[in-house]
Structure 1
Amino acid sequence: MAGTAAAAPRFLHIDALRGIAALLVVWLHVTQFFQAQLAPVQPMGGLALARFAQDFDFGRIGVMLFFLISGYVIPDSIRLDRPSPLATFAIRRVLRIFPAYWLSVPLGAGAMWWLWGRPFGWREILVNLTLLQDLVGVPPAIGVYWTLLVELVFYALCIVLALLHSLHDARRIAWLAALLAGVHTLAVFAAWRGVALSLPLAFLPLYLSFMLCGALFRHLDDGAAIDAGARRLLAALVGYYLVVFPLAASWAIGPRNNYVVCGAIALLVFLLGTRVTRLRAGLFVWLGRISYSLYLFHAPLTMLVLWWLLQQAADSPWRGQHMLVYLAACTLLGVAAAAVVERCVERPGIALGRWLATRWQQRAAARLR
């Protein structure tokens, strides 16, 4: 998902973690789509790749890892020591997220809906361009869009915390993360006991809690002053998300395809990648830098490949390949497209956002003189 690729060497490991997260999401979706669309009409080997990804829900692991990374990066990008920090933050974020997103919407409409004879009209496209489709009951052009709405909510939360002079207060952040964890736990316990709840609203506190945990780890890595209470709260949250909550959820619904276990795995990968072994391999760092476009475009491109395969004769060698071949081909196609979009769309958008933010800061500084 969207994030600012840091140029400083200390953040190369964060880009590498993004690359890993993106590959996990791609693995799940490509194998899932092929299992659903091609496997019923064409015998194929390697279905275990799909079952393995689904049993452990690689997509959920990747998304939760993205949320931790967003928490690690985003709050620190709000520079409260500069003129008009919140407006410039909003400008940069809008031009970071939306240009590539807007490009993905018509592609998603065509590849995920129109090619398969599913209705998706201009109203749906226009609503999707606002990124508010989930709030008004309009289907998304591409299923992964819901995570971007969570990102926007987190940005809004960061702005509110900044206005309350709490964005860089580790103790308040820790208490808020713990409160959100408690809200989510109570919500899922109520749902488990049969109480009807809005699942998006029940899960939002969990995602925001993970993001705030990422922000707390950034405080630690920056050497910021963190009192003992905040450190204990963070340690308790890590223990809860890594051990207590997964054990309870596994007892209640089993370990397979269990989102709580996925969150624990994501947190473990994040901890290993930021505190034990900081991966800086060039390939993963590069994949992290194109991960937003890879995240957006891999699904519609996979569906285009599937549609083309289904147009081929039943005895065509194109339709009888091993799942690993299709996974590799669709991943490479997605990576190639993401590299082009990152260079031609993302970078100009980021540059424009920085220029507009700088101009806004200059005008704000001039008004203060």
Structure 2
Amino acid sequence: MTTSTRPRTPTTTYPDARPGARAPTASGSSPAPRGAARLRALDGLRLIAALMVALYHYGGRDGEISEAWGSSPSVQFPTAHSWFAYGCLGVQIFFVISGFVICMSGWGRPLRSFFASRAARLLPSYWAAVILVTAVFALPPVVYAAVSPSDFLVNLTMLQQPLGADRVLGVCWTLWAEVRFYALFALCVVLPGANRRRVVLFCAVWTLAAVIAEAASMPLLDLVLMPEYAPFFIGGIGLYLVHRDRQDVTAWGIVGVSWLLGQHYAVDRLWHAPDPDFFSFRPSVGIIAVVTLGFAAVAAVALGLLSRVDCTWLTTAGALTYPFYLVHEHLGWVSVGALHRGLGLPSHLTVLVTIALMLGLARLLNRCVEDRFTPRIRAALKRG
């Protein structure tokens, strides 16, 4: 339905924020952190990636958004649409951040706690977004292709994609990728106990297995190993190892190989020869540049180069990213149609107002849904 981005990562205090070398223990794990600090720059990167995806959905592609505008976004944004088209790569940046944060949050945590944290973080806003979008699309002034009652119920499980059910949220395909990553990491790293040796082995085996899966062209292997997205998750994990010890040559090797493979998959999936029939043309150099900037930005956080970026409002930005990501696309269609065709607002102003409205809605979901239900679900699941 669409290509777009990545779900919310933890908003709790990030452990191990002080960069620098740590002497490994005999088991290969690093000592527990002596303090804790929030990597607020990472929150800012998450919001930037979400805004990239939003610009892609509003002006960087054809499809349903053309109906909302009343014409192709290439007409609405004759020059900017070519830049907006790169916004789909915000998904890959999300996956790098996810690899970093999931490795960080799973380190030293038992499986039950890890599962409770992930479920409590993802589900409340997701359920609210599914219900909200379904309700809005059923309103008489909107009436957009609604899913069947059965498919709506399946969407609440977050497993609609493998079951082939119609999706309420176009962006939920990225959540399915995230869930598979969580499962792999939980089974291979969290369950036996996270340490450096085990994490490095996980990265090496997954990288090789994903390449083999790509060569074998077997749907089951593709489904489990996700060759197209694995390098980005693995690259984020490698960057977390760098965050723990910036002199870790093996970790840098993981990051380097992941970047090389990641840019290959991004170019392979998103590049096409110049063709006037395509909506936009993304040169391969541009795709490589965006992927490189994504890796470099997370690396800057890992190395502590952005430690001065410590504004408290970035914590709020990080909290808004996931609910904004969930609602911005489909409800954005409604907003664009109402503002541009209904009220006659100029295209660029319509995009800015729509983003502001979606951020406002995300704030409501964060305060009224996440703040209320996330702690309760986490506590209930931890009790078992």
Q: TM-score range by the shorter chain?
A: 0.7 to 0.9
Q: How many residues align structurally?
A: 338
Alpha-carbon shift at residue 76 of structure 1 (Å): 3.5
The residue number in structure 1 matching 2:9 is: 3
State the Cα deviation string for residues 247-293 of structure 1 (Å, max 9, x = none): 79759956927697354332122223433334334444421121111
Specify which of 49, 52, 57 is matched with residue 80 of structure 2. 49
Question: Would the aligned equivalents of 2:239 and 2:252 in 1 still touch at CA under 8 Å?
Answer: no
Question: Would the aligned equivalents of 2:68 and 2:333 in 1 still touch at CA under 8 Å?
Answer: no
Specify which of 75, 82, 88 is matched with residue 59 of structure 1. 88
**Does 1 or 2 have the higher relative contact order (CA < 8 Å, sep 6+)?**
1
Question: Would the aligned equivalents of 1:213 and 1:234 in 2 still touch at CA under 8 Å?
Answer: no
TM-score computed with the length of structure 2 as normaliser: 0.74
Equivalent AA in structure 2 for residue 6 of structure 1: T
The residue number in structure 2 matching 1:304 is: 334
The answer as to 2:165 corresponding to 1:138 is: yes
The residue number in structure 1 matching 2:196 is: 170
Q: Provide the secondary structure at the position in 2 that maps to 1:74.
A: helix
Equivalent AA in structure 1 for residue 294 of structure 2: A
Tell me how far apart the structure 1 counterparts of residues 218 and 251 of structure 2 sit (CA, whole Å): 31
The residue number in structure 2 matching 1:237 is: 254
Question: Would the aligned equivalents of 2:170 and 2:330 in 1 still touch at CA under 8 Å?
Answer: no
Specify which of 360, 364, 373 is matched with residue 349 of structure 1. 373
Specify which of 84, 102, 111 is matched with residue 86 of structure 1. 111
Specify which of 127, 130, 148 is matched with residue 121 of structure 1. 148
Q: Provide the secondary structure at the position in 2 that maps to 1:221.
A: helix
The residue number in structure 2 matching 1:105 is: 130
Tell me how far apart the structure 1 counterparts of residues 318 and 208 of structure 2 sit (CA, whole Å): 32
Question: Would the aligned equivalents of 1:101 and 1:296 in 2 still touch at CA under 8 Å?
Answer: yes
Q: Flag structure 1 segments of 5+ consecutive residues without an equivalent.
A: 313-317, 361-369
Say if 1:35 and 1:50 are closer, same or farther in 2 by CA, change over 3 A: farther
Equivalent AA in structure 1 for residue 12 of structure 2: A
RMSD: 3.6
Question: Would the aligned equivalents of 2:108 and 2:194 in 1 still touch at CA under 8 Å?
Answer: no
Tell me how far apart the structure 2 counterparts of residues 67 and 42 of structure 1 sit (CA, whole Å): 27
Q: Provide the secondary structure at the position in 2 that maps to 1:88.
A: helix
Tell me how far apart the structure 2 counterparts of residues 355 and 197 of structure 1 sit (CA, whole Å): 37
Alpha-carbon shift at residue 215 of structure 1 (Å): 2.7
Tell me how far apart the structure 1 counterparts of residues 205 and 370 of structure 2 sit (CA, whole Å): 35
The residue number in structure 1 matching 2:71 is: 40
The residue number in structure 2 matching 1:366 is: none
Specify which of 300, 324, 346 is matched with residue 294 of structure 1. 324
The residue number in structure 1 matching 2:24 is: none
Say if 1:148 and 1:232 are closer, same or farther in 2 by CA, change over 3 A: same
Tell me how far apart the structure 2 counterparts of residues 135 and 243 of structure 1 sit (CA, whole Å): 29
Tell me how far apart the structure 1 counterparts of residues 131 and 350 of structure 2 sit (CA, whole Å): 24
The residue number in structure 2 matching 1:339 is: 363
Q: Provide the secondary structure at the position in 1 that maps to 2:229.
A: helix
Say if 1:102 and 1:12 are closer, same or farther in 2 by CA, change over 3 A: same
Say if 1:164 and 1:333 are closer, same or farther in 2 by CA, change over 3 A: closer
Say if 1:142 and 1:156 are closer, same or farther in 2 by CA, change over 3 A: same
Question: Would the aligned equivalents of 1:181 and 1:209 in 2 still touch at CA under 8 Å?
Answer: yes
Q: Flag structure 2 segments of 5+ consecutive residues without an equivalent.
A: 1-6, 14-35, 273-280
Specify which of 46, 70, 73 is matched with residue 18 of structure 1. 46
